[in-house]
Amino acid sequence: MIPAAFDYEVAESADHAIALLAEHGDDAKLLAGGHSLIPMMRYRLATPSVLVDVGRLDDLRYIRTGNGTVSIGALTRHSELEHSAELAGACPMLASVAALVGDPAVRHRGTLGGTLAHSDPASDLPAAVLALGGTIVAQGPGGSREIAATDFFTGYFESVLAADEMITEVRVPAGGGGWNYQKFNRRAQDWAIVGAAVAGGGSGVSLVNMGSTPIRASGVEAAVAGGASAAEAAAVAADGLEPPDDLNADAEYRSHLARVLTERALNAAGVA
């Protein structure tokens, strides 16, 4: 399975990448680690005419903590999140979830900015950033803007990112109470059939693979805030959602998993 032909451009900076996107239009794609994009290109589900390689922008590989915020460069790789002592101290949830993505070889290449831009509702890290109440910094021709993770995802593999914008940084709060991530799958290295992320002692709850985007379980959050038990709060986890039916699970089973995994995650995060 060979991808369709494309022209290859190496970005020397974020500014250069954005200029190349503007020059080549909608049919250009950014290439970071490539571990979502290249498989899609091999299946010819994606056939960009130009790839702009941002994988060499090492100045966007960093983890910095200050003023209660952890700022992570978009090109930071999953394995760097996983092994960062700074992140383990400031936001252990993100380090821990990063260690569950794919397998070691995938984590050596995949990037935090890339997985957010790809906006796969079945991916682990977008849901974690959502539960954490993170912020995504995107740069475009007119400068940078900050996008709340709650406003970022719009549909299957779709986000509010414009065609000429690039994620440059991801920010999550440092510290912040009990957390847990429950990833349920049946095959080694597979995506979650359903996942549940709890951050901030139950103030942030999100679900993986329960709809067309990573989903913020605001009903669960409200129940926890109102003093409900973990079991009571988790009971509403799937309310109003339309999870997908596929070979792994039908919608009813996914809804059951969402309730069970949310309760487990709430319990592990310290909600009784």
Partner 1 sequence: MTAVTLTVNGTERSLDVEPRTLLVHALRDDLGLTGTNVGCDSSSCGACTVLVDGQSAKSCTVFAVQADGADITTIEGVADADGTLHPMQQAFHEHHALQCGYCTPGMVMAAISLVEEYPGLDEGGVRHGLEGNLCRCTGYQNIVDAVLAAAGSGGD
Q: Does residue 174 belong to the site contacting partner 1 (CB under 8 A)?
A: no
Q: Does residue 44 belong to the site contacting partner 1 (CB under 8 A)?
A: no
Q: Does residue 35 belong to the site contacting partner 1 (CB under 8 A)?
A: yes
- Residue 249 phi/psi, 5-degree rounding, is -165, 145
Cβ distance to partner 1 smaller for residue 92 or 142: 92
Least spacing, CB of residue 126 vs partner 1, in Å: 19
Segment near partner 1 (CB under 8 A); pick from 3-11, 112-120, 142-150, 206-214: 3-11
Q: Does residue 85 belong to the site contacting partner 1 (CB under 8 A)?
A: no
Among 16, 61, 108, 256, binds partner 1 (CB under 8 A): 108
Segment near partner 1 (CB under 8 A); pick from 105-113, 127-135, 168-176, 192-200: 105-113
Q: Are 174 and 90 in contact (CB under 8 A)?
A: yes
Site string for partner 1, 54-83 (x = CB under 8 A): -x-----------------------x---x
Cβ distance to partner 1 smaller for residue 78 or 259: 78
| Of 110, 108, 136, the residue nearest 124 (C-alpha) | 110
What gap in Å lies between CA 168 and CA 136, rounded to an integer? 8
Q: Are 223 and 229 in contact (CB under 8 A)?
A: no
Among 16, 65, 71, 109, binds partner 1 (CB under 8 A): 109
Burial class (CB in 10 A: 0-12, 13-18, 19+), 53: middle
Q: Does residue 53 belong to the site contacting partner 1 (CB under 8 A)?
A: yes
Residues from 179 through 238 that contact partner 1 (CB under 8 A): 188-189
Rounded to 10 degrees, the C-alpha dihedral 237/133/187/247 comes to 50
What gap in Å lies between CA 257 and CA 9, rounded to an integer? 44
Going 182 to 213 to 89 to 56, the CA torsion angle's sign is: positive
What gap in Å lies between CA 71 and CA 82, rounded to an integer? 15
Residues forming contacts to partner 1 in the complex (CB under 8 A) are 1-8, 31, 34-35, 38-39, 41-43, 51, 53, 55, 79, 83, 102-106, 108-109, 188-189
